[in-house]
Structure 1
Amino acid sequence: MVKKHCTFWALLIVSVFCGATKAQVLTKPYSQIEGGIVVIVPHSLNGVRLVRLQPVNASIIHVTLTPDSAFNDSPSLMAVLQQHSTTKFSIQYSNSEVALTTDSVKAVVDVRSGLISFYDAFGHVLVKQSALPYSAFTKSMYGGNSTYRISQYFDSQNNEAYYGLGQHQQSIVNYNGRHVDLIQNNTEVAVPFVVSDKNYGLLWDNNSITTAGDIRELQSLYALKLYGKGGQQGWLSASYNLKNNPDQKIFEQPISELDYNWLSDMKKFPYKVKMEDAIVTYEGAIEGDQSGLYQLQVKYAGYIKVWLDGKLLADYWRQPWNPATTILDLNLQKGKKYQLKMQWVPSGSESYLGVKVLIPAPSEVKNTFALSSEAGSTIDYYLIYGKGADRVISGYRTVTGKAVMMPKWAMGFWQSRERYKTQDEILNTVNEFRTRKIPLDNIVQDWSYWKENQWGSQEFDRTRFSSPEGMIKQLHAQNVHFMISVWPKFYEETDAYQAFDKDGFLFKRNIANRQRDWIAQGYVSTFYDAFNPNARKAFWNLINQKLYTKGIDAWWLDATEPDILSNASVTDRKMLMEPTYLGSSTQYFNAFPLQNAKGVYEGQRTVNPNNRIFILTRSAFAGLQRYAAATWSGDIAARWEDMKAQIAAGINFSLSGMPYWTMDIGGFAVEQRYEKPIGTDLDEWRESMTRWYQFGAFAPLFRVHGQFPYREIYNVAPQGHPAYQSMLYYDKLRYRLLPYIYSLVGATYQQDYTIMRGLVMDFPHDNHVKSINDEYMFGPALLINPVYKYGAKSRSVYLPQSNGWYNLYTGKYYKGNNTIEADAPYSQIPVFVKAGSIIPFGPDLQYTTEKQPDHITLYVYAGADAKFTLYEDEGTNYNYEQGKFTEIPITYHQSTQTLTIGGNMHSYTGMLKRRTFSIVLIKPDDAKKLDFSQKVNTTVTYTGTELTVKL
């Protein structure tokens, strides 16, 4: 592992403590360095010895803390900044405080305690380090390397809200008072970046497993006082009945904890009953010795129901091979017993159930937000100031890299399936889409296109894919792109394994364990070490030679946690990737997906610098956006509660600084009743797909994927069915919205914009929106309200404080700061347009490049001034990085009711020099439907020079 040892600080400390007088120390307990200052803390409150502050720009301060006499700096994997900046700053020292001040931010270090406080330019507190008596550094060792477990507490302001932290599945948006584990898992994504609604963010530069928020350890169920169903204290009563004969009890026992959390825990299940045959009921009572919020974390696979005092709190299901985690909030009164009942029906011989509890926070940590990581030589983070979440996220991208632009075709519709087994299945699917005139831009080949024993060969099985090159040419001829699944996994039988093994590029523990996977009789495999730059190059060279040269358009990087052995414990997972090229797997655990994507991005950009790269990856880490990578939410289940959970998952992933997110529309894994649904199950399946599809049309990426039953529109329902008609409507609407959507894509690069927007981003002064987890903005204009309840014909919608809102479909006007019961017929989800919006709609399309957008309809929603910038470029290359794009500013002035289409800014080869704009004005007293055949207010011809229209 490469390290830079900074002996300067050791010499500085010696001069202060050994060669300087006490008066000298008190006069100047800091030293100015290139790009910042170092403050010496003789008697730290929590073990900090040196504090280093380095402005990145006027709004970002890089903070590094160490308990040692020198900084032991390792190269950052997430940050891409140069070592020193030229940002102007001043230094003041008085009353034992050292202050570093830029034009926007002031950081103050208390020399007596080592605590840091941050302020904006007006002296308003952003965040202060907490004055808690804790150790920021605890010595540890991993893989023979000495390190520290590190922690930092910050005081929360009144009613402060916290967002970001990656992607999680508990339907929580605001993490104030929550315990958030940042660990890469299928469906859970760790990104150590948090955005506060108090105009700042914290980027925690650490690659190890991290806990954020309330970092106290979750406790076993027996942290509560437990009572059996007969009233005995000390346990709950567990009864095991036969699944196929629920009245037949097999076994009964007391239990005080539930910890079937990992594959290795399966042996704990009572030997007297087979897990796959059982229904298990846990019942009794719980009691706490203090009043407050008890957060019950339930990890489950199979069916789980939870009741408290007879009230059903949870009724969930998750496939057995990929458990989910939910949080149940229990508001308990001190000394009061509450009847608790849980019913678990395992799905198969390997199902999971674990229950832990976070007890009410003690007063000293109740109003704090903390970060704690397993391993690090220093505490290393960036304080990012910004007036609003967009500016904070812009600061994050300043540190970690721009979100490079995706190809325009990626904004169209993607069809995927687990899996297309033959070449003919892919071609027939595309033919069906084109015949039925269902818009489509991308089809995806999932895993196992290779021969059974050739995982990692990256070679098609020619008995099923006789001519991959010819197949891809046919797809391209039909204006369809082709994405392929590539795993970092290698079977021993492959030539690629032998080559990578020879060069030392593989993690070998799974090989030594002779652990077999789940394919047929099982094969021994492992993953490559993506932390090794030469291994990354070898991986790219392999997929370039075997796949990219055949015409592949995009990469699906699956299992990038890395998922070497599913459902292994955290300890086992770390052992399976020990050691990494850079050092201990503990120290670098969370960064694998970043390094894996880096190798593919850099490799393709070297081989073909013209075509935009597109990567879809199951996991992510801070900085992923610079590698043209989007993330999907993993192998979620096809349940209504899972659909709802994706709303918050996508919001917080986007607030983590990464604008491209998607999900398996329809959910990946289905209950057995859906595999061949009939009757009421078929009805529910079709409605679920329809509602999910409606939601997905307004996600950054519009992608259908899942197991059987097949997810193509025509396989969900026949053409005349309401499900078919609704899905087709939203597919077509997505393509009509391409001028709007692609302009948002342009803004993600040009202005560091975010497409899927938590309501706090656009309505920061509306306290009602802080914890809303089922609504979001899609760009600046559209308020999206997915329907996630079976049979619902309406849903409650909060319309944030603004100048008003319009129903997208009818044009009806509503006041802001208003909760309504919005119509939600089978065919539609509620979508509202903010007053003071301009939405450009393009032509009816079958694929993104079918027609030039030479006729755009501008829907102008009056009630406030409005603006929108129409962005266009060449769509598939990187010329935009050299300024080859156009931006047309469009503004509406409410007082004069005039629309101005500004002069065309910039240019590119092939740009439209003449186009038509049709304008539809919608006002509170003049509702107009979303109807592209209706009479417009006016039509103008635009040739690139500014024009103004009176409406």
Structure 2
Amino acid sequence: MKFFNLLLILTLLIGNTFAQQADWQQEAPGVWKITVGEAQELTLLKAAGITPNTTALEKLSKVDFPLDKSKIKMEVIDGKTYLRFPLRKGEELFGLGLNFQTHNQRGRIMTLHVDHYGGRDNGRTHAPVPFYVSSEGYGVLIDAARYIKVYAGTSIRVDADDPPVLYDRNTDKQWKAQPYSDAVDILVPANGVDVYVFGGQSMLEVVQRYNLYNGGGYLPPKWGLGFTQRVPTLYSDKDILKEAEEFEAHNFPLDFIGVEPGWHSMAYPCTFEWDQTRFPDPQGFIKTLSNKGIRANLWLNPYVSPVAGLYPKIKPFSGSHTVWNGIVPDFTLPEAKALFKDHFKKNHINIGVSGYKIDEVDGFDSWLWPDVATFPSGTTAEEMRQVYGSIFQKMTGDWYREVNQRTYGLVRASNAGTSSLPYVIYNDYYSHKDFITALINSSFIGVLWTPEVRASKTSEEWLRRMQSVCFSPMAMLNAWADGTKPWSFPDVEDQVREVAHLRMRLLPYLYTAFARYQSEGIPPFRAMQLVDGFSVRSEKLAGELDGSENPYASYSTKEVRYQYMMGDAILVAPMFAGEKTREVVLPKGKWYDFYTGKLVGETEVITIQPGLDKIPLFVKEGGIIPMISKRNQMPKTDEILPLEIRHYGTAESNSILYDDDGVTFDHEKGEHSWTTISIVKKGKTFKGTLKIDNKDAFNYEKKVNWKFMTPTD
């Protein structure tokens, strides 16, 4: 018996590795880390190359470790890491990847796996970020480049601290196929993992800490916040220049054009070399566009064609399997990065190309390299799939930083740690409502997501989609397949132009929101759950079951959906084709119509009937909205713009306005301005003032057109 007990102890010691609760180390203010088992050579944060913004983190509120350490369980068994975190009754979980149909993830089982989105929130998505933020004011990140299985309040242990109530299905209508669970269980298929916990006084502060630990959000160039049109696949330089002339003729904004696969001498796989029949003079083409104030963004996927000049050089640094007959460079190797850098700088960046659209780095399984693929670095195929998009973002972003030019592009796959990288996620999915859900969910996980417009069945749908993209991180029409134009539905051309011009006018407000994303970690577009004074929780919908229903299906969830904040003051409530009315949940305080200044409600649910012409926008009490005049391109560095500042409501208030040159990284050296906008009441009237901290970096006229939207009488 003694021998048996000794053997059992030795087996446990050899086969299992337990993390001690005392092993939690404070990495930064409000951020704690623990390594369970063996530290992994490649992780999500290492792939993204993060540099925490400790200065900004120190400015947030002081918090203690937000969880009961004794209830966190971690161990390694047979080469796999098992993690368990406690949950309270009523606690909601947000994040766990870029989800398109759900917000609150409690009660879901997910395998976080980089992939095309397949129409189900099951973890396979473009950004399967293994980070969740709780309504209790904390966040958890699993920093593993693996396919992570998450049981978000679905698994029930025999020794649960808070076991579910036992019901008799025969007699009790409260019986559920999915009983209450008091924990999040996570399985990582690796013999070790880094785990981070983030604290905060609110959900927003938790998200701020997460973003700032990853370096803060990215500040795009001003031109990146203008309008972009992606042209059909086989357009030539002459076709694209004609397209630019059409935008000018229609008085429609255009800041950069997306050049699709036809610019390559071969695509799918790619050569990354200009096709001489369609683009005989690439440098001249880029210069001609630039003279019109338009940038060029090039489509690519990273898979190298056998006919590419790069092929023989990079083949020794590529994986064992191909994608569309192209080799897959191993970008965990410095040699592969250096070869791509030399080629891309010579053929693209040095002649004025402004950025990239990185396609096909996500899935499907039958298209991408298989999990049996090997890479010369020793990185597994699974790890490579989880980080490939992140590494490519970091690599290309660094190239532009080296030439002191900001870029802004599109990517199909991302993961944890990428908030400071210059890319917005997109995909081929096309549900308008689900696009808005994804936009909201992106704010929990430190990525930017943009809807796009490609086609519509009716002019109503066209206008509604265009309204949404103009209130997203990138205003984009993607015409690669059919040559669609913003004016393709003539009966709503004026309304489409109007909302595009409104986006342009909101540049000072939007640019400031992105500047706060960089400096404070506050998402520029964010979920209502991250708004102070928004306390509405999800509701579980129960009901009488009849014989036609599946008694084992999960109960559905009623959530506050399809509305979000842009910056601090503007609530966006998109409309969808076929809708005449909709509900809007107003957070605490008074809210006003953006267009008229009229009071619409206070801490309540309102029903609106806005008509077709405008996207519903609401401004909170005291909201301050800086704007510029209508224009078709974002300003050049030497332009001084007239400034209109709107104030809503009847309260005195303050806000800030950020500015810099809009194109370089000189703002990181102090060449920027933060201006305090103050609104005070003088009798029955308001007066506004500006306090500019750096007039050399303030590109607006000192004389402001103050517009007080809400009557005080």
Alignment TM class, shorter chain as reference: 0.7 to 0.9
**Shift in Å, 1:873:** 0.4
Match 1:840 to one of 614, 618, 626: 626
Aligned equivalent of 1:791: 578
Aligned equivalent of 2:248: 434
Match 1:828 to one of 600, 605, 614: 614
Aligned with 2:18: secondary structure? coil
Match 2:95 to one of 164, 184, 197: 164
Task: Tell me which amino acid in the other structure corresponds to 1:740.
Answer: Y
**Shift in Å, 1:333:** 8.6
Aligned with 2:389: secondary structure? helix
Find out whether 1:151 has 2:82 as its counterpart. yes
Contact 1:456-1:497 at 8 Å conserved across structures: no
Find out whether 1:921 has 2:708 as its counterpart. yes
Q: Check 1:894–1:772 CA distance in 2 against 1; reply closer, same or farther (3 A cut).
A: farther
Trace 1:196-235 onto structure 2 (pairs within 5 A).
196-214=134-152
The normalised TM-score by structure 2 is 0.84
Aligned equivalent of 1:361: 178
Match 1:479 to one of 286, 293, 318: 293
CA distance in 1, matches of 2:623, 2:142: 36
Q: Check 1:650–1:757 CA distance in 2 against 1; reply closer, same or farther (3 A cut).
A: same
**Shift in Å, 1:546:** 2.2
CA distance in 1, matches of 2:61, 2:656: 30
Aligned residues: 653
**Shift in Å, 1:704:** 1.4
**Shift in Å, 1:695:** 0.9
Aligned equivalent of 1:624: 418
Q: For residues 833-854 of structure 1, what are the alpha-carbon distances to aligned partners after superposition, in whole Å with 9 as ceiling and x for unaligned?
A: 1122000111111101169453
Contact 1:455-1:494 at 8 Å conserved across structures: no
Task: Tell me which amino acid in the other structure corresponds to 1:494.
Answer: A
Task: Tell me which amino acid in the other structure corresponds to 2:370.
Answer: R
Aligned with 2:442: secondary structure? helix
Q: Check 1:454–1:203 CA distance in 2 against 1; reply closer, same or farther (3 A cut).
A: closer
Q: Check 1:505–1:685 CA distance in 2 against 1; reply closer, same or farther (3 A cut).
A: farther
**Shift in Å, 1:876:** 0.5
**Shift in Å, 1:925:** 6.2
Find out whether 1:881 has 2:679 as its counterpart. no
CA distance in 2, matches of 1:736, 1:386: 35
Contact 2:265-2:272 at 8 Å conserved across structures: no
Contact 1:155-1:367 at 8 Å conserved across structures: yes
Q: Check 1:181–1:127 CA distance in 2 against 1; reply closer, same or farther (3 A cut).
A: farther
**Shift in Å, 1:167:** 1.2
- Any gaps of 5 or more consecutive residues in structure 1? 1-17, 19-41, 87-101, 107-117, 120-125, 140-147, 218-288, 293-331, 335-358, 518-523, 668-673, 675-683, 927-951
Aligned equivalent of 1:109: none
Aligned equivalent of 1:74: 41
Contact 1:666-1:688 at 8 Å conserved across structures: no
Aligned equivalent of 1:605: 401
CA distance in 1, matches of 2:103, 2:681: 34
Aligned equivalent of 1:776: 564
Q: For residues 104-154 of structure 1, what are the alpha-carbon distances to aligned partners after superposition, in whole Å with 9 as ceiling and x for unaligned?
A: 444xxxxxxxxxxx44xxxxxx4656478xx84232xxxxxxxx3223222
Aligned equivalent of 1:329: none
Aligned with 1:78: secondary structure? helix
**Shift in Å, 1:895:** 9.2
Find out whether 1:374 has 2:189 as its counterpart. yes
Which segment is superposed worse, 862-871 or 839-848?
Answer: 862-871
**Shift in Å, 1:421:** 2.1
**Shift in Å, 1:568:** 2.3
Contact 2:131-2:416 at 8 Å conserved across structures: yes
**Shift in Å, 1:738:** 0.7
Aligned equivalent of 1:811: 597
Q: Check 1:870–1:456 CA distance in 2 against 1; reply closer, same or farther (3 A cut).
A: same
Find out whether 1:556 has 2:354 as its counterpart. no
Contact 1:757-1:776 at 8 Å conserved across structures: yes
Q: For residues 613-638 of structure 1, what are the alpha-carbon distances to aligned partners after superposition, in whole Å with 9 as ceiling and x for unaligned?
A: 33321111112223322222x1113x
Aligned with 2:382: secondary structure? helix
Q: Check 1:127–1:444 CA distance in 2 against 1; reply closer, same or farther (3 A cut).
A: farther
Q: For residues 181-204 of structure 1, what are the alpha-carbon distances to aligned partners after superposition, in whole Å with 9 as ceiling and x for unaligned?
A: 321112422112212222211121
Match 1:856 to one of 611, 621, 643: 643
**Shift in Å, 1:407:** 0.7
Q: Choose between structure 1 and 2 for higher RCO, CA contacts under 8 A separated by at least 6 residues.
A: 2
Aligned with 2:691: secondary structure? coil
Contact 2:438-2:449 at 8 Å conserved across structures: no
Q: Check 1:72–1:549 CA distance in 2 against 1; reply closer, same or farther (3 A cut).
A: closer
**Shift in Å, 1:76:** 4.4
CA distance in 1, matches of 2:217, 2:613: 35
CA distance in 1, matches of 2:235, 2:247: 18
CA distance in 2, matches of 1:657, 1:495: 37
CA distance in 2, matches of 1:131, 1:604: 43
Find out whether 1:573 has 2:385 as its counterpart. no
Aligned equivalent of 1:652: 441
Contact 1:539-1:599 at 8 Å conserved across structures: no
Aligned with 2:615: secondary structure? coil
Task: Tell me which amino acid in the other structure corresponds to 1:78.
Answer: L
Trace 1:320-359 onto structure 2 (pairs within 5 A).
none
**Shift in Å, 1:416:** 1.1
CA distance in 1, matches of 2:109, 2:168: 19
Aligned equivalent of 2:113: 183
Q: For residues 730-779 of structure 1, what are the alpha-carbon distances to aligned partners after superposition, in whole Å with 9 as ceiling and x for unaligned?
A: 01101111111111122122222211110011135522579312110111
Q: Check 1:494–1:905 CA distance in 2 against 1; reply closer, same or farther (3 A cut).
A: same
Aligned with 2:312: secondary structure? helix
Task: Tell me which amino acid in the other structure corresponds to 1:618.
Answer: R
Find out whether 1:48 has 2:18 as its counterpart. yes
Contact 1:165-1:192 at 8 Å conserved across structures: yes
Contact 2:397-2:421 at 8 Å conserved across structures: yes
Aligned equivalent of 2:103: 173
Aligned equivalent of 1:663: 451
**Shift in Å, 1:860:** 0.6
CA distance in 2, matches of 1:81, 1:742: 23
Task: Tell me which amino acid in the other structure corresponds to 1:161.
Answer: E
Find out whether 1:697 has 2:488 as its counterpart. no
**Shift in Å, 1:174:** 1.4
Q: For residues 468-514 of structure 1, what are the alpha-carbon distances to aligned partners after superposition, in whole Å with 9 as ceiling and x for unaligned?
A: 2111111111101111112111222333222211xx2211223xxxx
Contact 1:666-1:689 at 8 Å conserved across structures: no
Aligned equivalent of 2:517: 748
Trace 1:208-287 onto structure 2 (pairs within 5 A).
208-214=146-152
CA distance in 1, matches of 2:352, 2:424: 21
Q: Check 1:499–1:843 CA distance in 2 against 1; reply closer, same or farther (3 A cut).
A: same
Aligned Cα root-mean-square deviation (Å): 3.2
Q: Check 1:137–1:893 CA distance in 2 against 1; reply closer, same or farther (3 A cut).
A: farther
Contact 1:441-1:481 at 8 Å conserved across structures: yes
Contact 1:808-1:833 at 8 Å conserved across structures: yes
